[in-house]
Amino acid sequence: MERTVSIGLVTVAFHDTYRADLQGWVDAVDQLQRQPDHVVIVTDAFTYEIVYALDTLRPKVTIVTSTPDYLHHPQVLVNQGIAHLNTEWVCKMDVDDRIYPHALNRVEATTADVYMFGIRLTVNDEHRGDMFANVTTSDNIRTSNDNLVFSGSPFRRWVWEANPYRDMIFEDWAFWIEAAKAGAEFTQSGNIDYEYRLHDHNITNNIDEQAWKNIVEGIRD
């Protein structure tokens, strides 16, 4: 079937711990039934290991090297990656998560602006349950006290152009709120589309969660 839209994948791989996740991330991308048209990886060290891991994705992969200001959240450098993508759709799949083979199959058929993935939640590789986005309208996203859309969900590029990711913890939560405020339409995939992996080195393990939720509250208003 002829492709009607283009889809890009982007991730950020910083520090030894997260760069170690890159091979597994690439292996999962290799298994996608609907392959992405462009892949961008932002990293702070262009090592031999990265070159080896990315070999199967050439020539559709772009490497962006960047040094973060460590006073800020390195994940915000995903903005640099998206800026290098040349696709209509963007899927921000964190390097420690694992996309499933069918995940992109129905993206180009949707008329919505955000295609909400379902997730398989694991904690230190132990399965803890399957979860679907709990959204019926964009009003749900603007008014809920919880983040209702999972971070890896694909979105149209205009959504990001209107409001790039903020330099903060819970940046994906803020992103979905601003997308809803900008008029984006959301639809659920109805599937479990990737493994959302929680582990000992998640950045949210050592934060003042309520303080960051208060910041999100200000964005929501």
* pLDDT tens per residue, range 156-215: 999 999 999 998 888 999 999 999 999 999 999 999 999 999 866 656 555 566 776 777
Return the SS3 of 46. Answer: coil
Query: What is the pLDDT, as a whole number, of residue 54?
Result: 80
7-220 classified as CATH 3.90.550.10? yes
Buried/exposed code over 120-151 (b: 16+ C-beta within 10 A; e: otherwise): bbbeeeeeeeeebbebeebebbbebeebbbbb
* pLDDT tens per residue, range 67-125: 766 546 777 889 999 999 989 999 999 999 999 999 999 999 999 999 999 999 998 88
Query: What is the pLDDT, as a whole number, of residue 204?
Result: 56
Measured CA to CA, the distance from residue 66 to residue 45 in angstroms comes to 8
CB 124 within 8 A of CB 198: yes
User: 164: burial class by Cβ within 10 Å (0-12, 13-18, 19+)?
Assistant: middle
Query: What is the pLDDT, as a whole number, of residue 69?
Result: 66
Query: What is the pLDDT, as a whole number, of residue 52?
Result: 76
Q: Look at residues 202, 198, 199, 197 and name the one whose alpha carbon lies nearest to residue 98.
A: 197
Where residue 124 falls (left for φ over 0; alpha for ψ -120 to 50; beta otherwise) is left
Q: 């990656």: which residue's tokens?
A: 81
Query: What is the pLDDT, as a whole number, of residue 56?
Result: 82
Measured CA to CA, the distance from residue 148 to residue 204 in angstroms comes to 17
* pLDDT tens per residue, range 8-59: 999 998 878 778 889 999 999 999 999 999 999 998 887 777 777 788 887 8
